[in-house]
Structure 1
Amino acid sequence: MSGGVPDLTVRVPIPDLRAWLAGSELPGVTSFQAQAPGPHVALCALMHGNEIAGAIVLDRLLRQGLRPRRGRLSFIFGNILAYGRFDPMDPTASRFVEEDLNRVWDLETLEGPRRSAELRRARELRPFLDTVDLLLDLHSMLWPSEPLILAGATAKGRELARAIGVPPLVVTDSGHAAGKRLLDYGRFGRAEDPAAAVLVEGGPHWAAETIATLTAATARFLRLSGVVEEALLPPDPVLTLPRFASVTRTITAASDSFAFLGPVRGGDVVPRRNTLIALDGEEEIRTPHDDCLLVMPSPRVTAGQTAVRLARLEPPQAVQGTA
């Protein structure tokens, strides 16, 4: 199989979340309200039960006693049932229990007859999420890839991602054929609504550098939101010029025999249009344009899963203003 084998070594401490699992609002959801008015800002981790780097970040902030000076600040641990099954000897097995929690956020699915452990959780979280104005969803990656921010398809998501600036690669896209993500849900996905959400892919699942990236992104997000005291946040990192990329084609595997023709890494740029990069059964997968960015390629997928997103890079833009 092309693309090599991912590193499955868990190199970070497994967070003890027992203090937060009961929550103050819902299981796994702890929220603090300031007296001064302001937005409802939420940090989310464990949308996938084996992506523990984001949970480490939230756990540290909670243990530090971070509280809002205005508005409301919430900490959401998503798929706590899957996380309860996390085993460092088999760390990919607890991504979900029955289905991907980050593919169920459309109204037809949420309000339909289908049942699963993840849909029960999404339906439980939904009324609370409807009150959130700004949301940062912390993720990590199995296959080698440059860290990035997924901004969804709206201008407001792109602007929030640009203002955060960590990591500096911002990708706008419309998601997956398999279902909607949390960042596309409800108010977050409606262009006319000011509520906004972005998703940060911080790096390899179980690596210290991923925790550092997610910590920096979270601090930037909180500073931009204005809900916490500046003195409680670490200094901003040195920001580089953000790079924007717009997904032009999402490749969803049509067969279980999808295979790239050589090793791939997220962030690779294929210089020539019409370059053959993969085979999906008998179908050839070719780049649709010059300078084609490979966004989070997954060398091992089954039919119906996203194999790679192909994106067009835009010229660098300066960091300016706030979200």
Structure 2
Amino acid sequence: MDAIASLVQGSAAPELPRFTVELAPPDLSPWLAGNTGVRGFTSFAAPRSGPHVLILALIHGNELGGAIVLDAMLRSKLRPTRGRLTLGFANLDAFARFDAENPIASRFIDEDMNRVWDQATLDGPRRSRELDRAREIRPIIDTVDWVLDLHSMLWPSDPLLLCGEGARSKALALAIGTPGLVVADGGHAGGRRLIDYPRFTAATGDAASVLVEAGQHWRTPTVAQMQASVTALLHHAGMLDAGPDTKTTPPPPRFAEVTRVITATTGRFAFVRPFRGGEVIPARGTLLAHDGSAEIRTPYDDCLMVMPSHRTGRGHTAVRLARFS
């Protein structure tokens, strides 16, 4: 179970703050049937050959920004000039339960859909709403060349691209280039993400998958960052008629690799102050948090804080520590 969902369902952790919801969920009813045989997935092929690109939203049902971006793309009748473009809405059942008065509660129904993407789980006997849906989506995942998975974050953080551990996914993230921070990591103790799916991390093959954490949930700038990341990927894939405006080409992104994933081992994990994701801690040995009686300190100078969670349950990721290269 996700740490935040655990809190919502009544753990003894401190009460969450009330979050501002600036976005309204889009009407996805025109796109539910799709044209792929998988509910909520629509695919368009161009006459010219090229990569098969999947843009994915709603792995978490309460992350509205991705749904807004894909809805706008479908309404605009965007078509690729080469290759195949597939647009998909993943956790539609959780999305249907979104309530702005309790926006955290619809992240998932039974379990986090972004923790089930290992072969043993997908091929095993266990059942849940999210796992069954992942199995429905899997045949499409097994055909694509590149995936851009659209996400947002609960706590304040600079946007970033996560590329997992695969070299091809790192190259794709650097080619997308926006947001301007790329982070490679090995994922979570609680399960494998879509970007960790073996097809994208295997030593052989061409497929790659990138996850964009575009900003805070339910905020307008987050949608704009998602749109920028999608546009950059489509330009990179040669799917748009016009190339990017070289006058506004951003500088190359910075790259950092996670060296330590801090997982809470007690129910009393607490940061010493409200760190922001993307914050760089200058000095090695700086105290970051207490996990019960244990101290968590920076392992090196210029330590990057990746997505600190300020309400962390036991067994869940509290923060990832990364080093620039």
Tell me the TM-score normalised to structure 1 length.
Answer: 0.92
Distance in 1 (CA, whole Å) between partners of 2:39 and 2:245 is 29
- What is the DSSP-based 3-state SS (H/G/I as helix, E as strand, rest coil) of the residue aligned with 1:12? coil
Letter paired with 1:259: A
The answer on 1:222 being equivalent to 2:234 is yes
Distance in 1 (CA, whole Å) between partners of 2:139 and 2:252 is 37
CA distances 1:98-147 after superposition (whole Å, capped 9, x unpaired): 11000100011111122111000001111111000011011101000010
Cα offset for 1:2? Answer: 11
Letter paired with 1:43: I
- What is the DSSP-based 3-state SS (H/G/I as helix, E as strand, rest coil) of the residue aligned with 2:70? helix
Distance in 1 (CA, whole Å) between partners of 2:283 and 2:235 is 40
The answer on 1:93 being equivalent to 2:101 is no
Shift in CA distance, 160/236, structure 1 to aligned 2, threshold 3 Å: farther
Distance in 2 (CA, whole Å) between partners of 1:55 and 1:156 is 26
Cα offset for 1:191? Answer: 3.0
The answer on 1:283 being equivalent to 2:302 is no
Q: 1:70 aligns with which of 74, 82, 105?
A: 82
Partner of 2:270: 259
Shift in CA distance, 131/61, structure 1 to aligned 2, threshold 3 Å: same
Structure 2 unpaired stretches of 5+: 1-11
Asked if the contact 2:70/2:87 (under 8 Å) is kept, the reply is: yes
Partner of 2:125: 113
Shift in CA distance, 122/235, structure 1 to aligned 2, threshold 3 Å: farther
Partner of 1:171: 183
Structure 1 unpaired stretches of 5+: 315-323
Distance in 1 (CA, whole Å) between partners of 2:14 and 2:215 is 17
CA distances 1:34-81 after superposition (whole Å, capped 9, x unpaired): 232222111001110000101111110110001122221100111111
Partner of 1:19: 30
Distance in 2 (CA, whole Å) between partners of 1:7 and 1:130 is 39
Shift in CA distance, 302/130, structure 1 to aligned 2, threshold 3 Å: same
Distance in 2 (CA, whole Å) between partners of 1:234 and 1:109 is 44
Partner of 1:203: 215
Partner of 2:169: 157
Q: 2:258 aligns with which of 240, 247, 260?
A: 247
Report how many residues are paired.
313
After the TM superposition, list the runs of 4 or more consecutive aligned residues in structure 1 that deviate by more than 3 angstroms: 1-7, 233-238
Identity of counterpart residues, as a percentage? 56
CA distances 1:248-302 after superposition (whole Å, capped 9, x unpaired): 1001111222111111110111112122211112222111111111000001011
Cα offset for 1:4? Answer: 10
Tell me the TM-score normalised to structure 2 length.
Answer: 0.92
The answer on 1:292 being equivalent to 2:308 is no
Asked if the contact 1:216/1:237 (under 8 Å) is kept, the reply is: no
Cα offset for 1:12? Answer: 1.8
Partner of 2:317: 306
Distance in 2 (CA, whole Å) between partners of 1:3 and 1:213 is 31
